[in-house]
Structure 1
C-alpha cells in the first residue's frame, strides 16, 4: 500500500495504531519535560497530511525526537529507499533511491519517478560507450533540464540529481579524453557545481555553497566560460548578502561584471550590486548602481540561457523593489511598491520563470511596502498565500524575507492582526527547507 506522508509510513512500519502512536508521543514528550499529547484524531490528520499549517513547535520537537527526522520530511510524501533499509510492505526497494529523494509535490508521485527512470536511461547511455558527441549532447541536455527543474521543483529534489550527475562527470574527467571533449566536460562540471552552490545557499549552508562555487570557478577558468563566471559570482555575492556582509556582496557583484558580456549576465550582477549597496544605505553609490541595473534591464539581450541560468526581468524587478525599500524614503517606498507589482505581473506571465520562490519574493516586497505605508490589511492579504507555501519551497532567502516582515510587525505590538501574523510567521519559519537554527528570535 502507499502512504500520504512519511509519518504515516514510519508509523505503519512500527505497526502502530493511532492510540499506540499517541501513547509513544506522550512518553517522548515526558522525556523532554513536556506534558502535551495530541488526540488520536489529530494524529490521524497528521498522518493523512490534512493540515493547512504545521504543528506547534512543541509537537515538532517531540515528533523529531520520536523519528529522528526533520518535521518537513515527516509531513512530505515518503521516499523510496535503498535495499538495506527496512520499509513497510508494498514499497519497492532499489539501490538508485536514497533517503534524500522525495516526491516533489504532494499528489504527483509519478513526476519524480518518471524523472528518475529517465536519469537511469541517460546513465546507461553514458556508461556503455566512450565519451563521444552523443554522450556530450546528453550531458548538455541534462544540465538544461536541471536548470529548468530548479525553478519549478523544491531545491532538495534538484540537489540530489545534480550531485549524482556531477559525480559521474568527475569520474569521466579522471580518464583521458581529447582536448575538446575534456573542455566540454569541465564546462558541464562547472555548471553542475554552480547549481550545487545555488542549492546549498538556498538550503541554508553558506560554507558548502562557497566550496561548490570555488570549484565551479576553477572549471570556468579552465574553459574561459564567462556566463558561468558571472552566475557563480552572483551566487557568492548572494551568500555574502544573506549573511549580512553587504559591502562584500556589492564588491563581488561589481567585480563579476567584468565578465558580463552577453545575455542577462549584466542584469543579474547590476541588480545584485544595487540591492547590496541599498542595504548599506550608501545613497550615492546606490544611485549609480540602480541606474546601471535599469539600463541593463532595458538593454538585456535574448540568449540561450535555460532555467535558473537566466536572470529574468521579473526577477530584476523584485531586486529593484527590495533595493528601493531598503533605502527607506517615502519616494523610494513608492518605487518599491511599483517594482514589486511589476515583478509579480512579469513572473506570472513568463512561462520560463514560474518558480514559487520567485513569486514569493516579489509578493514579500509588496508586503513590506504596504507595511511601510501603514497598510496592515493590504500586507496581510499579500502575505497569506506565502504563509501557506509547503515547507519544501521555503528556501532560506524566502524564510529570511518573511522573518524581516515579522520584525516590521513588532512595531505594532498592540494590534491583534499583527500579533496573529507574527505567530503565523514564527510557525512558517519553524518548518523551512533549510534549518531554522540560523534565524534569530522574533521578539
Structure 2
C-alpha cells in the first residue's frame, strides 16, 4: 500500500500524479537550477517511470542521489528530509485504522530526547559530502594548466592568457559552492597556480601592477592550504615581477624571505638564481651574487635537477642550464664580461638545442652586451647577436627581450656612427614598433 509522504501530498495538490506530468516539471526545474548554480550537469537530469513510482509510492529506503535531491527541493520548495519523512514515520491511513487502545499505548511511551530520525542523519551526511566538482573536473583543470605551461614559449602570453583566465574563473566559481575538504584543497591549489601563471604572463606583457596582484593572490591561496611548493613558486614569480619593474631591493627581499622559510626546498634554486642573484647584480653586490649562484648550483646537485634548459614558466624546479643562464644575466649587470662569456659558452649547446626562442634570444642579448663591456669591444659581433635576438622573437615580443634589446641599444651609444650599430638600431626600431612592444615601452617609461 502506498505511503502518504509529503512528496505524494504535494504532487497530488499540483496535479503531478503521472510520470509524464511530473517528469516535464522536474526537467524544467533541473534546467533552471543548472542555470542558477552554473552547473551544466544538472540540466541533463531525468526521472524514469520506475523512479517516479518509487518516489510517489514512498518505497525508498534511502534518499535519492544528491543532485536529484537538490532538484526536488528547488521544484517543491521543501527540504528533502521533509518530502520523504512520512515514509519512515508511519502512514496516516494506517494510524486511523488502529484501535484507540493501541494509539494510547503508543503515546504513553514518549520519545527519547536524544533520538534522531535516521533520515535526518543520512540527509545531513549527504549535504556535508556533496560537491559541485568531481574528480573529472579537477583533472580537466589540472591538465589545462599543464598544457598552458607546456605551450607557453611557443604560443606566448597574448594567445594563452584568455584560456588561463577561464581556468581561474572556473576554479573560483566552483569554490563558491560546496565541496568536501580534499576537493576544496585541490581547487585552492589549481586556482593558485592559474593566478601564478597569469602573474607571469603579466610580467611578459609589461603590466607589473597586475602581475603583483595575481602573484599575491597565488601566494595567499597556496598558504591557505599549506601548499609550500606553489607558495614558493608564487614568491619566485612575484620577485621576477618586481625585478622587471625595476624594484631590485624588493625583488631580492621577496626571494630571500621565501628561501629563509625552506632553505633546502627545490623551488629555492629558482628563488636564488632568478630572484636573488639577478636583483643583487643590479645593486652591484658582487659577493652576494656569487654566494646566491653557488647555493643555487649546490641545490641543483642535491635535488638532481635536469641538466637542460627547463621551461621558463614551469612549476618544476629549475634545470642547471636555466640557473647558469640567470648567472649570465647577473654578471652582465656587474659588468663581469669574462665570466659572462665563460658561462654562456658552457651552456651554449643546451640553449641552442632548446625549444625556447625567448631563452636563445635573451642569452644572445646578454652575450652581446658583454662583448661591448670588454676592454676591447667587439662591436660587429655584438650587433650581429642583437639582430639575431630580435629575429628569434619575431612577432611575439615579451618585456624581458624588449628591456634587454633596448639596453643593448643604449650600451652601443658611443659607437652610434658604426655601420653595425646603425643596422641594429634600425632593426630594433622596427621590431619595437609592434603594438605589443609599444605597450611595453609605455609601461616602462
C-alpha contact (below 8 Å) 1:343/1:362 kept by paired residues: no
Map of 1:31-430 to 2, 5 A cutoff? 130-260=132-262, 264-271=266-273, 272-302=275-305, 308-310=314-316, 311-328=318-335, 332-350=336-354, 354-373=355-374, 374-389=377-392, 392-430=395-433
Q: Distance in 1 between matches of 2:210 and 2:136?
A: 32
Question: Deviations for 1:171-219, whole angstroms, at most 9, x for unmatched residues?
Answer: 1111010011000000000000000000011101011111111111121
Q: Do the aligned partners of residues 125 and 163 (structure 1) sit closer, same or farther apart at CA in structure 2, a change above 3 Å counting?
A: farther
Q: Do the aligned partners of residues 418 and 192 (structure 1) sit closer, same or farther apart at CA in structure 2, a change above 3 Å counting?
A: same
Aligned length: 311
Which structure's residues are more often helix, by fraction? 2
Question: Deviations for 1:216-258, whole angstroms, at most 9, x for unmatched residues?
Answer: 1121111211121121111111122112221111111111113
Q: Distance in 2 between matches of 1:400 and 1:126?
A: 50
TM-score by length of structure 2 reads 0.65
C-alpha contact (below 8 Å) 1:274/1:293 kept by paired residues: no
Question: Deviations for 1:145-191, whole angstroms, at most 9, x for unmatched residues?
Answer: 11112232111111111001111111111101001100000000000
Q: Distance in 2 between matches of 1:360 and 1:169?
A: 35
Unaligned runs of 5+ in 1: 1-122
Q: Do the aligned partners of residues 152 and 218 (structure 1) sit closer, same or farther apart at CA in structure 2, a change above 3 Å counting?
A: same
Q: Do the aligned partners of residues 184 and 259 (structure 1) sit closer, same or farther apart at CA in structure 2, a change above 3 Å counting?
A: farther
- Could you tell me which residue of structure 1 aligns to residue 17 of structure 2? none
TM-score by length of structure 1 reads 0.65
Q: Distance in 2 between matches of 1:427 and 1:266?
A: 39
Query: Runs ≥4 in structure 1, deviation > 6 angstroms?
Result: 123-129
Unaligned runs of 5+ in 2: 1-38, 45-66, 68-131
| Deviation at residue 363 of structure 1 after TM alignment | 1.5
**Relative contact order (alpha carbons < 8 A, sep ≥ 6): 1 or 2 greater?**
1
Q: Distance in 1 between matches of 2:221 and 2:231?
A: 9
> Which of structures 1 and 2 has the bigger CA Rg?
2
| Deviation at residue 260 of structure 1 after TM alignment | 4.8
**Aligned residues: CA RMSD:** 2.6
Q: Distance in 1 between matches of 2:182 and 2:285?
A: 46
Correspondence 1:438 to 2:443: yes
| Deviation at residue 126 of structure 1 after TM alignment | 11
Q: Do the aligned partners of residues 368 and 183 (structure 1) sit closer, same or farther apart at CA in structure 2, a change above 3 Å counting?
A: same
C-alpha contact (below 8 Å) 1:341/1:366 kept by paired residues: no
Q: Do the aligned partners of residues 134 and 317 (structure 1) sit closer, same or farther apart at CA in structure 2, a change above 3 Å counting?
A: same
Q: Distance in 1 between matches of 2:338 and 2:140?
A: 48
Question: Deviations for 1:310-350, whole angstroms, at most 9, x for unmatched residues?
Answer: 3232221211001112212xxx3111112223334223445
Q: Distance in 2 between matches of 1:176 and 1:421?
A: 58
Aligned residue for 1:309, secondary structure, equals coil
C-alpha contact (below 8 Å) 2:384/2:420 kept by paired residues: no
Q: Do the aligned partners of residues 431 and 263 (structure 1) sit closer, same or farther apart at CA in structure 2, a change above 3 Å counting?
A: farther
- Could you tell me which residue of structure 2 aligns to residue 111 of structure 1? none
